[in-house]
């Protein structure tokens, strides 16, 4: 019972097919109240379809959705008042000003005129948009649009906020500010469901993360637990002049304790649960006529874990979605 009270989203065997394509294939997960839950996966993994089913833009074929104890499986309207939704594209009204957009969004959730006006002013100040409050949305920069879209998503103080790729395609400073706002929102008690293709962003912000690939959740855990097995590992990256792949055969034979993590052009990354001795490895490269130009000790990241679990190169996910990019 306590566990149920502590759970704001409960998803069981959720399934959605589009013709012969299984977009979401029987996924299960829970989100606890106050949690910042990350949902990571490549394009076409089923992230948006899952969000659409949770928020009411799509009907599940099978399975169940409970939000704050309300069964929303076939009645998404029942819990929509509890949700704030920030889609991956800024979808406010171009012909309305910043403050008009926020007030309109507040009205959609039944907020009284005075409440929505004061809340709109508060949010415009919080998001650094007070000076642009009277300007039409169509004239906002991408970063400003994104911030106003997030502000519109929280105008009615939702208990659960869905953020779909909140920092995609905006400048570095705006992305950093948005991440800070997300963290502050979560600290103030809002439960957040975040999808992002920036794995570093998820690592910094999220408490727990689910990896979804091909419509299936392949792993759900806290960032700490996901990272734990790698803490004892030592990871080294060698940079050589030439093709690092030339040494792979001899490396496997001569150093069986090493696990080869990545071979890409002149880069080779190895991991081991024991100390990695650089000298013998440098000699091996030299025996193959490859000069070692740099050796780096790598702190394992969530990206490594993602690659290990899903078998998908994290950089390829970034490339898929990124248009203008936002450095972290």
Partner 1 sequence: MKQWIAFWSILGKDMSSYYLKPPNISWGLTFPVAWTAMFFIKSGEGLESIQGLLPGVVSLSVLFGTTSMLAVTVTFERKGRSFERLLLAPISLKLLMLAKTSGAILFGVTNGFIPVIMALFLTDLSGIRWSLVLPAIIFIAAGSTFLGLFIAVSVSEVFEAQTFSNFFRFPMIFLCGLFFPIEKLPVWLQPLSYALPLTYGADVLRTGFQQQGTMPPQLDFLMLGLFSLGLFLLSQHNIGKKWIA
Is 87 near partner 1 (CB under 8 A)?
Answer: yes
Is 112 near partner 1 (CB under 8 A)?
Answer: yes
CB atoms within 10 A of CB 254: 12
Is 93 near partner 1 (CB under 8 A)?
Answer: yes
Is 159 near partner 1 (CB under 8 A)?
Answer: no
Q: What is the DSSP string of 22-62?
A: EEEEEEEEEEETT-EEEEE--TTSSHHHHHHHHHTSS--SE
Q: What is the DSSP string of 202-217?
A: HHHH-SEEEEEETTEE
> For residues 175 and 181, is the Cβ–Cβ distance under 8 A?
no
Cα separation, 196 vs 273, whole angstroms: 31
Binding span for partner 1 by CB under 8 A among 79-87, 229-237, 262-270, 293-301: 79-87
> For residues 297 and 235, is the Cβ–Cβ distance under 8 A?
yes
Q: How near is the Cβ of 75 to partner 1 at its closest, in Å?
A: 11
The structure tokens 């099978």 sit at 62
Is 323 near partner 1 (CB under 8 A)?
Answer: no
Q: How near is the Cβ of 21 to partner 1 at its closest, in Å?
A: 13
Binding span for partner 1 by CB under 8 A among 108-116, 168-176, 178-186, 271-279: 108-116
Is 91 near partner 1 (CB under 8 A)?
Answer: yes
Is 160 near partner 1 (CB under 8 A)?
Answer: no
CA neighbor of 307 nearest in space, from 317, 297, 321, 296: 317
Binding span for partner 1 by CB under 8 A among 89-97, 170-178, 208-216, 271-279: 89-97
CB atoms within 10 A of CB 156: 20
Task: Please identify, using beta-carbon distances, which residue of 140 and 211 lies nearer to partner 1.
Answer: 140
Task: Please identify, using beta-carbon distances, which residue of 158 and 266 lies nearer to partner 1.
Answer: 158
Binding span for partner 1 by CB under 8 A among 33-41, 80-88, 239-247, 297-305: 80-88
Which of 27, 67, 111, 305 binds partner 1 (CB under 8 A)? It is 111
> Per the structure block, which two tokens stand in for 32?
């606890």
């Amino acid at each position: 019972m306590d566990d149920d009270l502590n759970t704001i989203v409960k998803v069981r065997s959720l399934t959605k097919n589009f013709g012969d394509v299984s977009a979401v294939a029987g996924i299960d997960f829970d989100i606890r109240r106050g949690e910042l839950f990350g949902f990571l996966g490549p394009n076409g993994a089923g992230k948006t379809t899952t969000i659409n089913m949770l928020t009411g833009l799509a009907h599940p074929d099978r399975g169940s959705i409970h939000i704050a104890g309300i069964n929303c499986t076939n009645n998404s309207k029942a819990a929509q008042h509890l949700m704030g939704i920030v889609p991956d594209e800024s979808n406010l009204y171009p012909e309305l000003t910043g403050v008009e957009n926020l007030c309109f969004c507040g009205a959609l959730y039944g907020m009284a005129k005075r409440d929505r006006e004061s809340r709109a002013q508060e949010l415009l100040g919080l998001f650094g948009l007070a000076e642009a409050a009277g300007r039409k949305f169509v004239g906002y920069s991408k970063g400003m649009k994104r911030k106003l879209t997030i502000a519109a998503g929280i105008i009615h103080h939702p208990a659960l906020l869905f953020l779909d790729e909140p920092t995609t395609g905006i400048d570095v400073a705006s992305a950093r500010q948005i991440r800070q706002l997300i963290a502050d929102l979560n600290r103030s008690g809002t439960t957040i469901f975040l999808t992002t293709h920036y794995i570093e962003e998820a690592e910094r912000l999220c408490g727990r993360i689910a990896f979804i690939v091909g419509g299936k959740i392949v792993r759900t855990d806290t960032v700490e637990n996901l990272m734990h097995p790698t803490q004892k590992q030592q990871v080294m990256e060698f940079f050589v002049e030439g093709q690092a792949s030339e040494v792979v055969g001899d490396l496997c034979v001569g150093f069986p304790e090493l696990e080869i993590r990545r071979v890409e052009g002149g880069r080779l990354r190895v991991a081991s649960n024991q100390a990695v001795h650089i000298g013998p490895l440098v000699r091996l490269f030299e025996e193959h006529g490859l000069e070692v130009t740099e050796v780096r000790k790598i702190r394992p990241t969530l990206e490594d874990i993602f690659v290990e679990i899903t078998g998908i190169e994290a950089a390829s996910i970034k490339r898929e979605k990124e248009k203008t990019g936002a450095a972290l």
